[in-house]
A and B are shown apart, each in its own frame.
Chain A
Amino acid sequence: MTVAWGPLLAAYVVLVGLPTGLTLMTWWVGRSGASVRLERIGAWGALVALVAISVLLVADLGRPERFHLMLVRFDNLASPISWGAKLIALKILLLLLVVHAVERRRPPDRPLPRLTKVVAVLLLAVSFALALYPAALLARSWASPLAGGAGVLFVLTALLMGAAVVVLLGGEGRTALLGLLAASAVALAVEALALAGRPGDRLLLAELTTGGSAPLFWGVAVGAGLLLPAAGLLTLPRNRVVTALCAVAVLAGAAATRYLLFAVGS
C-alpha cells in the first residue's frame, strides 16, 4: 500500500498541538487573574506556530499554488481537511485580532466587552476543535490505524504541550501539568486496554510495546513524557531548573505520543 502522507504531515500532526494547547492553557492559567505577559506571549506564540504550521501544510501539497481550494470549496463538508483548513484560517484571523488588542499601547476608547468575550470564547472553541482535529483527519486514513480512536489523547497531548510552554514561560502551570499527566496516563492505559481487546489491533499494540516503536514509546512517550516529569514535579516542586526540565520532557513526550499515533501501523 502506498504511504500517502510523509514527514511533513507527521510534523504537522505533532506540532499542531502547540498553538492549540498554548491558547487553551493560557486561558486556563489566566482564569483567575491573567498576566499581560503570558497572554501576549500566548497569543504571539500561537499565531507564529499556526502560521508556520500552515506553511508546512501548504508545502506538503503536490500543488501548493492550489491551497486556496481547501478554503473556498464548501462542496464536501464530510471532509475533515476541509474543516481543518477553514478552522486554521479562522483561528489565525482571531489571533490577529487578539495580538492587535494586546499590543495596544493606549487603553482603548469605546471598548466592547461583550464582543471581546465572544471572540475569546470563539477562540477557545476553535482551538478545542483543532485539538480534536488530527483524530478526525486520521480516522479516515487506513494508514494511521491508531489515530482514529485517539481523540482524547490528541486533546490531552495538546494541552500538555501548551501547559509545558506556559510553565517554561514562568506561568503557574505546575498543577495543571500534574493533572494533565495523570489524565494522560489514564487515557493511555484505557487506549491500550481497548487495543488489546480487538484482535486486529493487538498487532498494533505489540508493535508499540514490544516492536520497533517500543523504544520511542517506553523511552520518550511514557518515560520522559509522563513518569519523569511527574516524579520531578512531585519531588522537587520548588526547583526551577527541575521544573523547566520537566516541561521540556513533557514537550518531547507529548510530541512522541502524537508521532506514534500517526505513524504506527503505516
Chain B
Amino acid sequence: MARLGMLIDLRTCIGCHACSVACKAEFDVPLGNFRDTVKYVEEGAYPKVTRHFIPVLCNHCEDAPCLSACPTGAVVRLDDGQVTIEDGDCNLNRACMAACPYDAIYVDEDRGAAAKCTFCDHRTAEGRQPACVDACPTNCRVFGDLDDPESEIAVRAAANDVTVWKESAGTRPKVLYVDPKNALPLIEEQGVQVDTTADLSGEPA
C-alpha cells in the first residue's frame, strides 16, 4: 500500500494549462466543470508586479471532509490513499461538495454523479502516471508514493520547503507545493472550480 501524492513545483510551472486540458481529454470533463485547473494571480504594483501560476486539483486529503460527509458511502478511499467517488453510489445530495474546502467536486451532468480528480487511479493501476503529470511539459508535477523514500516525489519533498493549500482547513493534503514566492495564500478564498460568472459581457448595456 502506497501513500500516493503529488508535488507541484511552482518555480517551473509556466501556466500552460496542458495539465488541465489533458485532464479534460482523459475524462471528457463537461464544460464548466474542472478536476484540475491553473489559477493565475497577479501580485504587486507597477512596475514591481508579477503573475503566479498555481495548478490546483483535489488534494486527496488524509483527513478528507468530503469522505466523512457522504451519507451513501459513495466517496471512498482506495488502497493507495486516493479519494474517489463511486458513480453508482452517488445520489447527488452534494454533501461532499459542501464539505470540500477546495471546491474540488462538481456535479457531472453526463455521469449523473458528483465527480472529481481521481489521481487517475485507472492509469496508475496500469503503472502509468496521471494524465496531468504526463502532460506537464516542464515536469513541474511529480507523482508518486510519499512513503517510499526513494521515490522522486519523496526526494523532492525532502529537498525543498513544501507547503499545502489552505493548511488551516486541517485536511492534511497530499498535493504538496514548492512555493518560494508564497503564492498559495493569494488563492486562499478560491477553489478548484472556475468562476464562470467573472467574464465581462460583450452585450452593450
Interface residues of A (CB under 8 A from B): 1-2, 4-5, 60-64, 66-67, 69-70, 73, 75-76, 78-82, 84-85, 137, 140-144
**Which of B67, B107, B169, B189 is close to A62, meaning CB atoms less than 8 Å apart?**
B107
Residues of B within 8 A of A75 (CB): 72-73
Query: Taking the nearest CB of chain A, how far is it from the CB of B185, in angstroms?
Result: 14
Bound-complex Cα distance A13 to B114 (A): 22
- By the criterion CB–CB under 8 Å, are A61 and B91 in contact? yes
Q: Give chain A residues whose Cβ lies under 8 Å from the Cβ of B112.
A: 62-63
Given A63-B113, A140-B98, also A2-B193 (CB < 8 A): yes
Is B103 a contact partner of A2 (Cβ separation < 8 A)?
yes
Residue in contact with A140 in the complex, picked from B74, B95, B114, B191, CB distance below 8 Å:
B95
The dominant DSSP class at the B interface is: loop
Bound form: Cα–Cα A80–B98 in Å: 12
A79 touches B68 (CB 8 A): yes
- Chain A CB within 8 A of B85 CB: no
A73 contacts which chain B residues (CB < 8 A)? Answer: 71-73, 89
Known A1-B190, A2-B191: A76·B91 in contact at CB below 8 Å:
no
Asked whether A80 lies within 8 Å of B101 as measured between CB atoms, the reply is no
Check if B143 is an interface residue, CB within 8 A of chain A.
no
Given contacts A1-B103, A2-B106, A140-B65, contact A82 B90 (CB under 8 A): no
A63: chain B residues within 8 A (beta carbon): 90-92, 112-113
Residues in B with CB closer than 8 Å to A5 are: 94, 98
A82 touches B72 (CB 8 A): yes
Interface flags, B97-126, vs A, CB<8A=1, else 0: 111110100110000111000000000000
A234 to B100, CA, bound (A): 47
CB distance B94 to A143 under 8 Å?
Answer: no
Measured between alpha carbons, how far is A82 from B89 in the docked complex, in Å? 13
What are 20 contact pairs spanning A and B, CB under 8 A?
A2-B103, A2-B193, A4-B95, A61-B92, A62-B91, A62-B92, A62-B112, A69-B89, A70-B93, A76-B72, A76-B75, A79-B95, A80-B69, A81-B69, A81-B70, A140-B68, A141-B95, A142-B100, A142-B169, A144-B98
